[in-house]
Structure 1
């Protein structure tokens, strides 16, 4: 249990180590030196106390250290690493699902594009610099693709029980096509980011060359 005495001792030690006390003590020491040289005269206690007080007032105030929050870029990189792990689990799941050839082809194109974006290296670094892009890839891996495939598997069973309904693979093919279009748009946006970076460097070199 922390008592008021402990708090008082803690505050006392904190003040002794503070900038105000250290600066005031240095100025007070200068007053002691003046006393020994005779410059302070009979009023040396007032001089020493005054110099100490002046030093304490002039010392910069104590500033608490700001919170050490994680770097946003590091957070995005860590998030992307988690998505990469989830993508590996998604591919293992998809390997066990039987799909019609057309839907399987579209799924292969989509997962190939996602794999290229998530591959460790400079492409993933470009992706990690865009929070919205990271969110889009995460949503595709963790929600959109597994939901589309699972919905197909469930609906296919009901269709077999009640033939004559609309084939569920049509919806799956359309969903995968839409997801592939989204992934292509995302890839194009990241490419534009790199193109603008290249153009900016060209303008910089042109301006530097006069």
Structure 2
């Protein structure tokens, strides 16, 4: 394994800018030697020119990391949303909470349609809702409700679930409103353009 690593490092150095520039300068030294100008010091001339070339060569730059595009992130989020919907369908929820979850699912599904959400903040909010907030809210409710049977009279877990679902619905509604406003501005701009074009 160490030999393989050493061979890889040697290959990387052989292909590096420093080595290639040094080799070019070393070849210049060989040319100087062939003319007889270097005399008996030719090894020093060739080695010195190689070292000088290696020193002046620009440093190696690591490859720029590639991160998922907004479209790729949206595709992955849609896949995760499908997983979440399957989980929510199996969760035992009160009728009122089920209605809230269904409404939230419909809104998130519409927002995740291709071509709508591209803003990184909106994408982050939706990803957090799908991958963290909504599953956590339902899971916590299911667990808390199970323990509530042993301590009657405590605060009903349904209240917390409904408050969480309302807050998540408000966040998704704010994104929808932002998209609606952006489209309205776009429509108004196009109307002005078409009307003024004929003047």
The normalised TM-score by structure 2 is 0.67
Secondary structure of the corresponding residue to residue 85 of structure 1: helix
Indicate whether 1:125 and 2:115 are aligned. Answer: yes
Aligned partners of 1:207 and 1:79: how far apart in 2?
A: 39
* Residues 199 and 11 (structure 1), Cα distance of their counterparts in 2 relative to 1, 3 Å cut: farther
| Alignment partner of 1:85 out of 50, 59, 79 | 79
* Residues 130 and 6 (structure 1), Cα distance of their counterparts in 2 relative to 1, 3 Å cut: closer
Structure 1: gaps of 5 or more residues: 14-66
* Residues 198 and 5 (structure 1), Cα distance of their counterparts in 2 relative to 1, 3 Å cut: closer
User: How far off its partner does 1:208 sit?
Assistant: 2.4
* Residues 10 and 102 (structure 1), Cα distance of their counterparts in 2 relative to 1, 3 Å cut: farther
- Counterpart residue number, 1:179: 168
Indicate whether 1:8 and 2:22 are aligned. Answer: yes
Aligned partners of 2:191 and 2:64: how far apart in 1?
A: 37
Aligned partners of 1:205 and 1:140: how far apart in 2?
A: 40
Deviations 1:82-137 (A, max 9, x none): 11111011111112210011101110110111112213xxxx3121x211111111
Aligned partners of 1:113 and 1:164: how far apart in 2?
A: 35
Aligned partners of 1:199 and 1:12: how far apart in 2?
A: 67
User: How far off its partner does 1:168 sit?
Assistant: 0.4
Deviations 1:132-189 (A, max 9, x none): 1111111110111011101101211221111111110111112112211221121111
Secondary structure of the corresponding residue to residue 126 of structure 1: coil
Aligned partners of 1:116 and 1:176: how far apart in 2?
A: 17
CA RMSD of aligned residues (A): 2.8
Paired residues, number: 152
Superposed counterparts of 1:156-167, under 5 Å? 156-167=145-156
* Residues 156 and 5 (structure 1), Cα distance of their counterparts in 2 relative to 1, 3 Å cut: closer
Indicate whether 1:199 and 2:188 are aligned. Answer: yes
Secondary structure of the corresponding residue to residue 200 of structure 1: helix
The normalised TM-score by structure 1 is 0.64
Deviations 1:16-42 (A, max 9, x none): xxxxxxxxxxxxxxxxxxxxxxxxxxx
